[in-house]
Amino acid sequence: MLSARSVFREILDNDESFRLFCSIAASGEAQGGWENGRIAALVPETERALAPKIARHGADEDKHGRIFRALLKKRGLQPVDVPPETDYTMLLERHGIGLAHDRLKAAEPLTVQDIVTYLAHSRVTEQRASEQMRLLLRYFADDPDIGRAVRMISHDEDNHLAYCHEELLRFAYAGHGPAIQRTLRDCALAEIRIHRDVSLAVMERMGRVLGWAPAKRQLLAAGIHALHGYERAGGWRRMVSLKTPRRRDALGGPATSAAEFA
């Protein structure tokens, strides 16, 4: 029977598909770590109190990249180059979602509006990350190889999402509400399209590695298109709502260690 659990299990049990999965994940996390690190360094003077939280966010992303690389090392595997069509973070940046890398590479401080844009982008992408890690957590929390990694990363992604809600609400109360809603909507509509395209590209790559039959590939592609159809019809709205999180000040301390994965 074809199910999300069986597809993930097949990917994780094969060395080549596992290597591609972890390489894509590690690359995206490392990119997120760099972006957050640069944003923390360029925070405007009026928002310097936010810099440690942004830096913590970046440190968490770097940690996740190390965890995925450690999972590869544990199986005696080396990372592979990430195919451009599967590079979620690069495609988001190319489509103008978030802050441009040229902006982050410069020495000029960011503006408050830049920080609002960064938080809105993060609120959308962290929603996706939180949901994906909860899915893996449901299936593999007790897995002897990846269970600890999934639990740790899922916890961090939930923290990141809570932090985005809390900080965006603070900016909304300060008068940035209309700009936040516009940015959230634009980010969400672009993200669901990019997520569909990346999912199709990853599925195609995995199908080649695992030798999936055409019928199986078509069924999985239909599922990806169905999810996008739901999100395009209104599912995207879950990515733009704001509410006070149960986890308050979720990034108010130092990043947790991942030494056990090294």
Q: In this structure, how many other beta carbons lie within 10 angstroms of the beta carbon of residue 85?
A: 14
The owner of tokens 């940690």 is 63
Tokens of 247: 């986890």
Domain spans of the chain, in order of start: 4-242
> CA–CA separation, 158 vs 49, rounded Å?
21
**CATH topology classification for 4-242:** Ferritin (1.20.1260)
pTM of structure: 0.94
Tell me, rounded to whole angstroms, the distance of Cα 106 from its chain centroid.
Answer: 24
Dihedral angle computed from the Cα positions of residues 67, 71, 72 and 75, in that order, rounded to the nearest 10 degrees: 160
Q: Could you list the pLDDT tens digit for every one of the 262 residues in the chain?
A: 678 889 999 999 999 999 999 999 999 999 999 999 999 999 999 999 999 999 999 999 999 999 999 999 999 999 999 999 999 999 999 998 889 999 999 999 999 999 999 999 999 999 999 999 999 999 999 998 899 999 999 999 999 999 999 999 999 999 999 999 999 999 999 999 999 999 999 999 999 999 999 999 999 999 999 999 999 999 999 999 999 999 898 998 666 665 555 4
- If we measure between CA atoms, which residue out of 123, 122, 163, 136 comes closest to residue 25? 136
Q: What kind and span of H or E run contains 232?
A: helix 214-233
